[in-house]
A = this chain, B = another copy of it.
Amino acid sequence: MTQYDPRELRNAFGTFMTGVTVVTAKTADGTPIGFTANSFSSVSLDPPLVLVCLANSSSNYQAFTSADGFAVNILSEAQKHVSNTFARPVEDRFATVDWRDGPNGGPVIDGVSAWFDCSMFKTVEAGDHIILIGKVEGFEANAAPGLGYARGAYVTPAAELAALEPHHDMIVSVLVQLDGKVLLVEAKDGLVLPEGRVGKDGVSQTLQAVVSSTGMTAEPGFIYSVYEDSDRKSQHITFQCAAEDGQPTLGAFTDLSDENLQRVTDPATRTMLHRFREESRIGNFGIYYGNQQSGHVRTITAGR
């Protein structure tokens, strides 16, 4: 390209939605350093690799490129303040958060959706940035919805929830997913999602009660589906819901096989679950269903 306007290019880059990370390391004298970045990508499962991009002009450039490794903290939706703190000049950024050393020595921050503590695998010079590729030496993840970023502003499920008021008969259900399986409950007329009718306590409270009833540690995320339930004269809203490992006390995690989907007798729910099955194939490490494409769980031994 011979002529272009960097302002327009920057805006075009911004059309790609991202999460928000804080990338951290320790300087030679042990001081924790970190910066907010959204140029993160998972790269490889085996060996486990991730990447982030760092500006050549960054004051952290020397420290990060000479470090033994770095940690990537995937911020949760409650951590806008952490994102802001690590994005602007602040005297002691780490004084404002709770953090500890990860297994590889990288600072990991409390309350994140996930963290990856990495050894340095490779660095790649790429224009006005350098790509840091890290080998994951340890990681942790939980059900907290991630903070999103789109076209220069944060995106969170919390904003959706705040806008919803129980205006007439409203039913909320949760799509609790774990490793590609969905929590379905045996009802008298087939399999259904865990659900509840919104009472005077409001949408948030009802959602929490529905999640609690399943016995899982899970947090409602973005709205997944909305439809008019004409049989029950209600508006029906389904929320995405990530779960931590565990055993439900209500229902069971169910493969979305054709056979199981036939046991979902409500047409709207069945259509939605079909759609969910399709969508889970997306991405680098999409969750696959069915015999031909089933993922297999491995515990492998990998030398550093």
Contacts and interface: CB of A to CB of B under 8 A. Distances in A.
A146 B4 contact: no
A127 B154 CA distance: 32
A51 B131 contact: yes
A194 to B, nearest CB: 17
A177 to B, nearest CB: 6
Contacts of A301: 2-3
Contacts of A188: none
Chain A interface extent, by class: 35 or more
Contacts of A4: 48, 136, 139, 299-300, 302
A151 B242 contact: yes
Given A152-B287, A297-B6, A124 B127 contact: no
B11 A150 contact: no
Q: Quickly give the copy total for this chain.
A: 2
A61 interface: no
Contacts of A302: 1-2, 4
A99 interface: no
20 contacts: A1-B103, A3-B301, A7-B295, A9-B136, A12-B114, A13-B50, A13-B284, A16-B21, A17-B17, A36-B283, A38-B283, A39-B42, A44-B129, A49-B129, A84-B282, A148-B150, A149-B279, A150-B222, A152-B287, A159-B222
Interface of A: 1-21, 36-51, 53, 55, 74, 80, 83-84, 87-88, 103, 113-114, 116, 121-122, 124, 126-129, 131, 133, 135-141, 145-155, 159-160, 162-165, 167-168, 175, 177, 179-180, 221-226, 235, 237, 240, 242, 276, 278-287, 295, 297-304
